[in-house]
């Protein structure tokens, strides 16, 4: 039982320590450990401004951070975090080399043992290059997601869920990708990041389209476009409108998307894409002049287009226009170019499909391994819980039986006490009867002496002889035996406390503890009542009692019942 209780106490202590450790202050909804004010407030402000793309304001906040950090150069935490933010903003503003350099410097300054969140956060921002989908990348994303979830970072956890969901959707494992996108949506909403929610739902709509749920995809995109509370950014709105046109040929959406794109002259590829769409729409209506107009616009951007699909569509439309004009030789020339691009695209698509299929199989195997591992852990936990339950039940049974035995012992002891008390009462009655008898004999002897029938000396001798041989020794032995049954530890305890007491002193203390009167004690000890008083006084002296202390209470302390 002691072992069981010790084990349970240890488990409770470990749980309490774990809870205390997990509750270390963090800057919600991020996982930064508190660095004290004003640095914590500056960090949260920088996070919010950065996500809202308010770069100028972020730069001013970082300047204050730098001033704060420079005031105490020994504060490595403040210095490393400031350097990280300087690098992050530099990278966002287009100075990639400077940004990467500063963030790597911040990484070197970070104590990964004491501040693991800082270390992982900087690594996450350094990991900005494109990664071809493979099993190692998938495992890396899962590991990082687990870390940031445990750190309490909602935005980064949501971003990782969105990346994993998009990753799985891109390789054709859409059924397993959608739950991650839904989880990302929930995390972004908890973190109050509506712009991130919108971006994630674009990916969700694409996943629904891949899955074949066109109705659900269109509904979700319409909701995104109609949301006036948290409207999409122009870039995100352009993507949604373009996707909507691609799904249901919504030319109204196409025109709005084009109006957004033409505001940015750097989006040549998007210009060419939409102008190809408009050319196609004009050809459907047999509006050749309008088709030529949009096709010429597309041609002006073609030299900056890298996507083979956009280039193939341009050459295919070029072929159709030449064909309509009757320029057959030129038409077949561009048809050949479009066909070559199409063959190249199909070949590349097949390679990607094979690669994605193999990758999906590996990920499915990995998922199965993780599931098996989780089941093993669950089985171990269940077995452990069952073992603890059995130990608890066994301990309870043992404890219950122990309680029952103790109860039985108490009942037996109570019976022994009852029997002993009855014997004491019987002996007291017997002594009273003997006292009455002696008194009657003594009275009779006095009457006989008064009548002259017997001399006074003979009467006294007869009375003394009766008292001497009235069974005092037997009574004393019976009292001692009874008292030892009532309080077996009495003699041992009082002798240990007062080693100078004699056997006679201990017998007297036992009679006093029983509550016997002096005359009864005199009878049992075969001494005069005056001698009992003297013996009581000597006992008090040996026990060192003060004048106000009760001898009865002093000796009864050595009886536990």
pLDDT digits (tens, 9 = 90+) for 204-238: 999 998 888 989 999 999 998 998 888 888 888 89
Grade residue 5 by pLDDT with cuts at 50, 70 and 90. very low
Least confident of 180-184, 205-209, 310-314, 543-547: 543-547
- Which of the two residues, 490 and 481, has the higher pLDDT score? 490
Mean pLDDT of the chain: 84
- Which of the two residues, 526 and 550, has the higher pLDDT score? 550
The confidence score (pLDDT) of residue 18 equals 43
> How many CA atoms, within 13 angstroms, populate the side-chain half-sphere of residue 178?
14
Distance of CA 556 to the CA centre of its chain: 56
Which single residue is written with the structure tokens 């002296």?
Answer: 541
CA-angle at 83, arms to 81 and 87, nearest 5°: 115
The confidence score (pLDDT) of residue 4 equals 42
Of 129, 197, 139, 144, nearest in space to 31 by CA = 144
pLDDT digits (tens, 9 = 90+) for 151-200: 999 999 999 999 999 999 999 899 999 999 999 999 999 998 888 888 89
Q: Classify residue 25 by burial, with Cβ atoms within 10 Å: 0-12, 13-18, 19+.
A: exposed
Q: Classify residue 12 by burial, with Cβ atoms within 10 Å: 0-12, 13-18, 19+.
A: exposed
Positive/negative CA dihedral, 45, 46, 49, 51: negative
Least confident of 171-175, 180-184, 330-334, 356-360: 330-334
The confidence score (pLDDT) of residue 501 equals 87
pLDDT digits (tens, 9 = 90+) for 141-154: 999 999 999 999 99
- The span from the CA of 320 to the CA of 342, in Å, is 16
Beta-carbon contacts of 272 under 8 Å, excluding residues fewer than 6 positions away, are: 298, 301, 302, 304, 305, 310, 314
Q: Is the pTM of this model over 0.75?
A: no
3-state secondary structure (DSSP) of residue 120: helix
Alpha helices (H) along 452-517: 456-468, 472-486, 490-497, 503-513
Of 344, 359, 286, nearest in space to 311 by CA = 344
Cβ atoms of residues 260 and 238 within 8 Å: yes
The confidence score (pLDDT) of residue 174 equals 92
Distance of CA 81 to the CA centre of its chain: 28
- Other Cβ atoms within 10 Å of 519 Cβ, number: 12
- For 475-561, CATH number out of 3.40.50.80, 3.40.1160.10, 3.40.640.10, 3.40.50.2300 equals 3.40.50.2300
Please say if the pLDDT value at position 561 is more than 60: no
Grade residue 532 by pLDDT with cuts at 50, 70 and 90. confident
- Which of the two residues, 168 and 328, has the higher pLDDT score? 168
- The span from the CA of 488 to the CA of 301, in Å, is 111
- For 28-129, CATH number out of 1.10.10, 1.10.3470, 1.20.1440, 1.25.40 equals 1.25.40
pLDDT digits (tens, 9 = 90+) for 432-469: 666 677 677 778 777 778 777 777 777 777 766 666 55
Alpha helices (H) along 212-327: 214-226, 234-248, 251-261, 268-284, 288-301, 308-325
The confidence score (pLDDT) of residue 283 equals 92
Please give the CATH architecture assigned to the domain spanning 133-264: Alpha Horseshoe (1.25)
Percentages of the chain per state (helix, strand, coil), in multiples of 5: 80, 0, 20
Of 193, 229, 262, nearest in space to 48 by CA = 193
The confidence score (pLDDT) of residue 9 equals 44
The confidence score (pLDDT) of residue 462 equals 72
The confidence score (pLDDT) of residue 424 equals 61
Sequence ranges of the chain with CATH classification 3.40.50.2300: 475-561
Q: Which residues pair with 26 in a beta bridge?
A: 33
Sequence ranges of the chain with CATH classification 1.25.40.10: 133-264
């Amino acid at each position: 039982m002691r072992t069981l209780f010790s084990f349970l106490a240890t488990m409770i202590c470990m749980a309490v320590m774990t809870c205390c450790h997990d509750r270390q202050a963090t800057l919600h909804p991020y996982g930064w450990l508190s660095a004290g004010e004003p640095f914590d407030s500056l960090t949260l402000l920088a996070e919010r401004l950065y996500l809202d793309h308010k770069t100028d304001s972020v730069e001013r906040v970082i300047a204050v951070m730098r001033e704060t950090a420079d005031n105490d150069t020994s504060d490595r935490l403040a210095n490393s975090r400031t350097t990280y933010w300087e690098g992050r903003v530099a990278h966002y503003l287009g100075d990639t080399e400077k940004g990467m350099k500063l963030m790597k410097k911040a990484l070197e300054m970070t104590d990964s043992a004491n501040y693991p969140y800082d270390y992982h956060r900087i690594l996450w921002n350094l990991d900005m290059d494109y990664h071809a989908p493979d099993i190692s990348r998938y495992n890396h994303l899962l590991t990082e997601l687990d870390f940031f979830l445990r750190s309490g970072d909602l935005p980064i956890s949501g971003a990782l869920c969105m990346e994993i969901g998009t990753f799985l959707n891109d390789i054709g494992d859409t059924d397993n990708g959608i739950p991650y996108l839904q989880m990302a949506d929930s995390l972004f909403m908890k973190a109050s990041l509506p712009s991130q929610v919108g971006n994630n739902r674009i990916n969700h709509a694409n996943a629904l389209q891949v899955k074949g749920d066109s109705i659900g995809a269109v509904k979700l995109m319409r909701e995104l476009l109609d949301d006036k509370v948290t409207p999409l950014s122009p870039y995100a709105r352009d993507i949604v409108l373009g996707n909507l046109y691609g799904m249901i040929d919504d030319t109204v959406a196409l025109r709005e998307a084009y109006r957004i794109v033409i505001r940015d002259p750097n989006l040549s590829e998007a210009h060419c894409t939409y102008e190809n769409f408009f050319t196609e729409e004009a050809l459907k209506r047999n509006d050749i002049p309008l088709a030529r107009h949009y096709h010429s616009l597309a041609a002006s951007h073609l030299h900056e287009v890298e996507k083979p699909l956009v280039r193939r569509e341009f050459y295919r439309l070029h072929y159709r226009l030449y064909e309509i004009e009757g320029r057959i030789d030129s038409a077949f020339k561009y048809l050949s170019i479009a066909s070559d691009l199409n063959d190249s695209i199909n070949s590349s698509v097949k390679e990607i499909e094979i690669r994605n299929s193999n990758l999906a199989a590996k990920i499915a195997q990995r998922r199965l391994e993780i599931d098996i591992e989780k089941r093993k852990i669950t089985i171990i936990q269940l077995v452990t819980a069952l073992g603890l339950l059995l130990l608890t039940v066994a301990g309870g049974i043992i404890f219950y039986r122990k309680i029952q035995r103790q109860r039985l012992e108490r009942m037996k002891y109570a019976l022994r006490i009852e029997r002993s008390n009855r014997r004491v009462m019987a002996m007291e009655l017997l002594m009273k009867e003997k006292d009455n008898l002696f008194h009657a004999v003594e009275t009779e002897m006095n009457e006989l002496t008064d009548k002259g029938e017997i001399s006074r000396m003979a009467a006294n001798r007869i009375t003394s002889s009766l008292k001497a041989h009235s069974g005092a020794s037997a009574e004393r032995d019976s009292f001692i035996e009874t008292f030892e049954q009532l309080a077996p530890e009495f003699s041992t305890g009082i002798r240990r406390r007062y080693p100078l007491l004699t056997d006679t002193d201990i017998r007297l203390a036992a009679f006093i503890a029983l509550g016997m009167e002096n005359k009864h004690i005199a009878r049992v000890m075969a001494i005069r009542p005056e001698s009992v008083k003297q013996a009581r006084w000597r006992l008090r002296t040996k026990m060192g009692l003060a004048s106000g202390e009760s001898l009865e209470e002093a000796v009864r302390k050595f009886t536990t019942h």
